Structure 1
Amino acid sequence: MTRLLELIRASVRGLSVFLLLMLILTPLAQIVMRGVFGVPMSGAEELARYFLICLSFLAASYVTRDGGQICMEELQAMLPEKLRWLIQMLIEFLGIVFFGSICVASIVTISRNLENQTATLEMPFYIFMAPLALGMFLLALETLMVLIHLVQTGRANDKTTNLT
């Protein structure tokens, strides 16, 4: 199970780097095509927006794994250890419920709109919405891993402010 999870995490990290690269290259290509060759690249804005959406939803699970989500750690640090542990477990449990609900809702939405497509690129709706469903699934999975860690250790996570 751990090997599979690490493989998924490595894939998400690699895909996130690729999406970031494409998010940078797409507008650059549009600028070069329009400025140098005088020929605008049709759909470049929608494609760049799609890469941004994909990057945001898919990389969110990796951010959660590394403790980069907003946690109000300074406020939590003022609470007693046991209360902080219980609050952290509640937050993680509610996160699993929330992300799982959004995942299910997005899958239902995709299944009801299989024939639809985006306006400019005419991208099938299921491809456009797939990052939301996959991203929410991965977020629920990583949040579950955090909850399992909290239960196993029996104590609250320490303050882990990450400055990058």
Structure 2
Amino acid sequence: MKKLETLFVALNGWALILMLTAMSLIVGANITLRYTSSHSLSWADEAARYLMIWMTFGGAGLVLRIGGHVAITNLQDALPALGQRILRACIVLGLLVFFGFMVHVGMQYAQRMQFQVTPALRIPFLYVYAAMPVGFGLLIVHLLLIARPFITAGIYKRMDDAEASTPMPGGARG
């Protein structure tokens, strides 16, 4: 199971790296063309925007793993150890429900947009809006992978998959 989790995290990270690389190359090529030939790629801004959308939704789960999202821990810190575990379990349950709902809403929205095409690239908006259910699906998987150590000890995974419990800025633990 540990190897599967490591592979899943690595693939998620590499997908983000590839999208960032593609976005950088597209924007860089557009800037170069604009200043060297006075022409630009009509689709470059649109492609970069859609890659940014996919990177945002695709990277949210990796950030969740390390406790990088905003957290206010005043209530948790004021509770005894058992109360903290119960609160963290409620938070995980609430997040799972919310993420599942957003997968459902995202799928409905993407399906409604499947017949409209983007202005410059002329691809169905389905591929743009699919970032939402895919991203929230990834959030569910990442949350399930870190739920046990988070609930029991309030710790997150470090980027190297070791567990960390040192306080992070904003009150989160990482």
Question: Normalised by the shorter chain, which TM-score bucket?
Answer: 0.7 to 0.9
Q: Displaced runs of 4+ in structure 1, greater than 4 A?
A: none
2:95 aligned partner: 95
State which drifts further: 123-132 or 107-116.
107-116
Q: Is the 8 A contact 1:61 1:142 kept in 2?
A: yes
SS in structure 1 at match of 2:64: helix
Q: Is the 8 A contact 2:113 2:124 kept in 1?
A: no
Distance 2:36 2:9 in 1: 40
- Taking a change above 3 Å as real, the CA distance of residues 75 and 18 of structure 1, as seen in their structure-2 partners, is farther
**Residue segments in structure 2 that go unaligned for 5+ positions in a row:** 156-164
TM, length-normalised to structure 2: 0.81
Distance 2:7 2:146 in 1: 18
1:53 aligned partner: 53
- Taking a change above 3 Å as real, the CA distance of residues 25 and 162 of structure 1, as seen in their structure-2 partners, is farther
Deviation at 1:13, TM superposition (A): 0.4
**Residue segments in structure 1 that go unaligned for 5+ positions in a row:** none
Report the AA paired with residue 47 of structure 2: L
TM, length-normalised to structure 1: 0.85
SS in structure 2 at match of 1:36: helix
Q: Is the 8 A contact 1:93 1:144 kept in 2?
A: no
Distance 2:53 2:115 in 1: 21
Instruction: Among all aligned residue pairs of Structure 1 and Structure 2, give the percentage whose two residues are the same amino acid.
Output: 26
RMSD: 2.2
State which drifts further: 10-19 or 123-132.
123-132
1:43 aligned partner: 43
Deviation at 1:15, TM superposition (A): 0.9
Deviation at 1:139, TM superposition (A): 0.3
Report the AA paired with residue 110 of structure 2: I
